[in-house]
A and B are shown apart, each in its own frame.
Chain A
Amino acid sequence: MNLYTYASPANFYILAGKLIPWFAWGAGLFTAWGLYIAFFLAPTDFQQSEAYRIIFIHVPAAWMSMFIYLVMAFWGAIGLAFNTRLSFMMARALAPTGAIFTFIALWTGAWWGKPMWGAWWVWDARLTSELILLFLYVGIIALWAAIDDIKRGDRAGSLLTLIGAINVPIIYFSVKWWNTLHQGASVSLTKAPSMAATMLQGMLILAIAAWLYTIAVAMARVRRIILERERQSEWVKALLEKES
């Protein structure tokens, strides 16, 4: 037995079914632990009072939104290069979760910004690039939704993800550049709080929770995609037979 065994959809289906509960429980435990740190161990910030506790979900969500995009681009590139069916399924399964984390990052950014900056939305470099990242996610999901042919959809979506991945750093840089030139219009920014050790710890633990959650959700989504695509195969038929 080797790693390639699990590259076949049938084996992956079974493996994922076994692994999902572990990841889901892990995500739950890490969330509880992280939230405990965020609300009970982390001290009140002398500058921002309690509002800074929003950061504990904002930063992990923003990390996830970017990581998931990169992972999607990675799977898309693997799929295009080696023509592996499972990697395209992975890319598809990750996109909705990535979009949700992007939305959460934007939402919590706004709700942190209102008490701190005095405005729900500031055209700050990070918020703006996060918004454009959300547009990219929406575009990719819309493209997948519009193409009925599985093979074409897989490839087209991955190509779009790839050109987006090349573009994301340029977009981030250009927005940052644009932002520094237009300082006059922006609200005075409170400096980010100096990172206390407990704060970093809480954020990291919640980031791990977000990873475990993403893996669990993506695996569940891959399982559904596998069933859909392999419905004509013998093993799916046998599986459904056994269940009913």
Chain B
Amino acid sequence: MEWASWSDFWHMGGYGFYVWGSYGVTAVCVAIEVLLLKRAAGDTRRRLKRMRQWEEQ
């Protein structure tokens, strides 16, 4: 175990800004990709269903 306490962990031996800046942006990128994908999938389904209803009328 490298860390004596949580504050030690966040501090990262003085490099906390850089380490968390890297990991944070990576997490944000992945989260955005997943969210956009989820939303796009929902949009596609809704649009296709609307088109179906419109065709049936």
The answer to A–B direct touch (Cβ < 8 A) is: yes
Residue of A nearest to B52 (CB): A240
Known: A39-B9, A108-B22, A244-B49. A51 touches B15 (CB 8 A): yes
Contact of B29 among A50, A100, A231 (CB under 8 A): A100
Question: In the complex, how many residues of chain A place their beta carbon closer than 8 angstroms to a beta carbon of chain B?
Answer: 39
B4 in the interface (beta carbon within 8 A): no
Mostly, the B contact residues are: helix
Contact of B22 among A97, A107, A227, A244 (CB under 8 A): A107
- Min CB–CB distance A41 → chain B (angstroms): 9
Known: A44-B2, A104-B25, A112-B18. A50 touches B12 (CB 8 A): yes
Residue of A nearest to B40 (CB): A224
Q: A residues within 8 A CB of B3? A: 40
Docked-complex contact A54 and B19, CB < 8 angstroms:
yes
List residues 211-244 of chain A with CB under 8 A from any CB of chain B.
213, 217, 220-221, 223-224, 227-228, 231, 236-237, 240-241, 243-244
The 5 closest A-B pairs by CB, nearest first: A50-B13, A51-B15, A50-B12, A108-B22, A111-B22
Q: List 10 A-B contacts (CB under 8 A).
A: A39-B9, A49-B13, A50-B16, A51-B19, A96-B33, A100-B33, A107-B25, A107-B26, A108-B26, A228-B48
Q: Which B residues are within 8 Å of any A CB, using their own CB?
A: 1-3, 9, 12-16, 18-19, 21-23, 25-26, 29-30, 33-34, 37, 40-41, 44-45, 48-49, 51-52
